[in-house]
Amino acid sequence: MSLAEEVDVLRQIALFERMEPAKLKLLAMTSDRVTFRPGGTMMRQGDDGDAAYVVITGGANVLVNTPNGPLKVAELGAGQIVGEIAILVDIPRTATVEAQDELVALKISKDNFLRLLNNSPQVGIEIIRVLASRLENTTNQLREAIAKIPK
């Protein structure tokens, strides 16, 4: 995949869609392309957050630890970002992410991601929007789960 194609993938992500092309190109150039084999672990719940990943090709399962073992809570595909929460708020990873099949991603280091936020307030606003949307979805799922509990 060329640099131009990587920039196009980044542009499809809500966090980056309004970013200037030159900044997107710089972000793509300073990110590492990584490949995970089927079942490979991109990140593990509880680990320190050192990077965010943008999925270029392939899919991944998002798993959280429960007393009954791992629980799949989401799937990721091309054009999605994962891992940004742990690097934004300096907390351990909230989930484990494993490749479903061969997965290629751009790995954006914590330093580059934070530098991007400092230099592009629009990205910060988009992060707030995306995280608010995720919180709303999680709240709705929690509400539905509570409603199913016998009283």
Q: For the chain, what are the domain ranges?
A: 3-148
Determine whether 8 is exposed, middle or buried from the number of CB atoms within 10 Å of its CB (0-12, 13-18, 19+). middle
How far is it, in rounded angstroms, from Cα 66 to Cα 86? 19
Give me the pLDDT at residue 43, please.
96
pLDDT of residue 105: 94
Say how far apart CA 84 and CA 129 lie, in whole Å.
13
pLDDT of 60 reads: 97
Confidence at residue 106, expressed as pLDDT on a 0 to 100 scale:
92
pLDDT tens sequence for the chain (151 residues): 688 888 888 888 877 877 888 888 888 889 999 999 999 999 999 999 899 999 989 999 999 999 999 999 899 998 888 988 878 888 889 899 999 999 999 999 999 888 888 887 877 887 788 778 878 988 888 888 888 888 7
In angstroms, the CA 28 to CA 31 distance is 5
Q: Which amino acid is at 141?
A: Q
CATH architecture type of domain 3-148: Sandwich (2.60)
pLDDT of residue 104: 94
pTM (global) more than 0.85:
no
